[in-house]
Amino acid sequence: MTLAAGIFSANVAPAHLTYTGRDFGTFSGLTNGTLSITNQTCTGNYGWADAADGVLGDSHHGRGFRFRLENAAFVTLTVSANPAATATSRGDLTPAFSIYSGLAAVAPFPPSQTTNAPSADHDGTPASLAWRTWWVRQNINPQATDEAPTDGCWNSIGDFRIGGDGDLAGDFSQLSTLIYRGSAASTTSGGTVSRSFALPAGDYTIIVGGNDIANKTADTAALARGIAATLAVTPTPPLNIGQIVFVSWPSGTTANWVLQSATSLDPGNWSNVTKAPLVVDGQPGVLVDKAGAERYFRFHYVP
């Protein structure tokens, strides 16, 4: 991938993947919670699209956010273009975002394993460049000797790793690992995009960027686009199993939640319950044959 004249690659002007001013905070997951952040920007309107094209993109063209869940919960993220984010931000962002389990390095950083002081993660560290070269060998050219043609470490539709100045090149265990959970992208300039996720407890990274790949070679590619982001957390719907073996759930639960059962907690044993739901005293649910084998039940969210 190439950049238009006047836009620096990650190797020349490395940007750090940090969360300063972009922490949604900690949510119990047991009660409703919401928070909006409306004063942030990302550089250019193409970063997310560039990181989704099968070749790693430059994290400098996305903006990182974070949050923590203390329990499993249902999370909805809404991102909009926001011309009022700063005094100079534009309002033509074509918004897109990805959510990952895990965090980039946060202070206090581990002791340095190199001659450099430890730092936040960025695309241009020797450790990041070594991982990018490995990634190219695995995915593009087995004979590659450097990180070309990647622009950075960011994969907006998959897992990726990124390291700081104190991480040892070639030892990937020292890198931050971000595990892809899902994404959403608008195709409208100045638009809004939203998606919901059923997530387990843990720390999460969000990276927001633009979804207009044509902007990569435009005169406005280096200009800041304003972001408004709202994170809403609600408890996952509870299941109630009564004495008559009636498995029920709250009325009004959306069809995205699918009831599944299994005879053990092995991840491969779960299957959809195909019985038609009944409504008893205003509660939807299904009747289960109590003479059958012992079974476990859960809700599975299908986007």
Q: Please name the residue ranges forming H helices in the chain.
A: 47-50, 126-139
Sorted by where each starts, the structural domains of the chain and their CATH numbers stand as 23-234 (2.60.120.380), 240-301 (no CATH)
Q: What pLDDT shows up at residue 24?
A: 98
| Cβ-contact 164, 119 below 8 angstroms | yes
Angle at CA of residue 79, ends 201 and 299, nearest 5°: 35
DSSP designation for 256: T
Q: Is 207 helix (H, G, I), strand (E, B) or coil?
A: strand
How far is it, in rounded angstroms, from Cα 216 to Cα 219?
9
Q: Please enumerate in sequence order all residues whose Cβ is within 8 A of that of 272, keeping only pairs 6 or more positions apart, or say none.
A: 258, 259, 260, 300
Q: Is 185 helix (H, G, I), strand (E, B) or coil?
A: strand
pLDDT tens for the chain, 303 residues long, are 333 333 333 333 446 999 999 999 999 999 999 999 999 999 999 999 999 999 999 999 999 999 999 999 999 999 999 999 999 999 999 999 999 999 999 999 999 999 999 999 999 999 999 999 999 999 999 999 999 999 999 999 999 999 999 999 999 999 999 999 999 999 999 999 999 999 999 999 999 999 999 999 999 999 999 999 999 999 988 877 666 678 898 988 888 999 999 989 988 889 999 988 998 778 899 888 776 678 899 999 988
Q: Please enumerate in sequence order all residues whose Cβ is within 8 A of that of 51, keeping only pairs 6 or more positions apart, or say none.
A: 57, 58, 59, 61, 62, 152, 154, 155, 156, 157, 209
Tokens standing for 267? 């991840």
> What percent of the chain shows pLDDT beyond 90?
77
